[in-house]
Structure 1
Amino acid sequence: MPRSHADSGRVELRLRPEDKATLTRAAALKRLDLTGYILGTVLPKAEADIAEAERVTLSERDSLRVLALLENPPAAPARLVRAAKAGFRLP
């Protein structure tokens, strides 16, 4: 069974020798070690991917609909009002 590095911050990466050579050469050209080069290149991309996944993009029509609902929310359904009055609790 492989050892887990989850808590140590260590990540193992299997590369073809030619890919490692390319990364090592690029790192040297930037005067960085391999870890610094990979992190400097990959982390901004990871952060951008996360931001893109967490961002909701609405059309103008949908944006106007959301604003209208925020300004004039619909009445709560009777079932919801009854549950709230009864002190409904989630399991």
Structure 2
Amino acid sequence: MPSVAIDDNKRMHLRVSPEAKAKLIRAAAIQNTDLTNFIMQTALKEADSVIEAAEAVVLSRRDFARVLELLENPPKPNAKLGAAIAALPSAI
């Protein structure tokens, strides 16, 4: 997940065209809220949607059944896995 630097202050600066600002103000007024609240509510809903879509794993029924099968009955380690485990530093 990419990391983003976050300023400590609580302000964000946003450049918008006069037409876009007028549309946002109009939509905020229709919802009987102020511009900041309208933008935050809308942006946070979209952020939640984007994050959920990026983090969700959707499997077909067949693939879901296969994952469950592998969790319940994992395959025996192969030679490559055995070599990788042997190459790990010993635990202290």
Q: TM-score range by the shorter chain?
A: 0.7 to 0.9
Distance between the aligned counterparts of 2:19 and 2:47, measured in 1? 24
Stretches of structure 1 lacking an aligned partner (at least 5 in a row): none
Contact 1:24 1:34 in 2 (8 A): yes
Cα shift at 1:12: 1.5
Task: Count residues with an aligned counterpart.
Answer: 85
Q: % of aligned pairs identical?
A: 48
TM-score, length basis structure 2 = 0.76
Greater CA drift, 37-46 or 25-34? 25-34
TM-score, length basis structure 1 = 0.77
Q: Which segments of structure 1 move beyond 6 Å, counting only runs of 4 or more? A: none
SS of the residue 2:77 aligns to = coil
Contact 1:5 1:11 in 2 (8 A): no
What's the C-alpha RMSD, in Å, of the aligned pairs? 2.1
Stretches of structure 2 lacking an aligned partner (at least 5 in a row): none
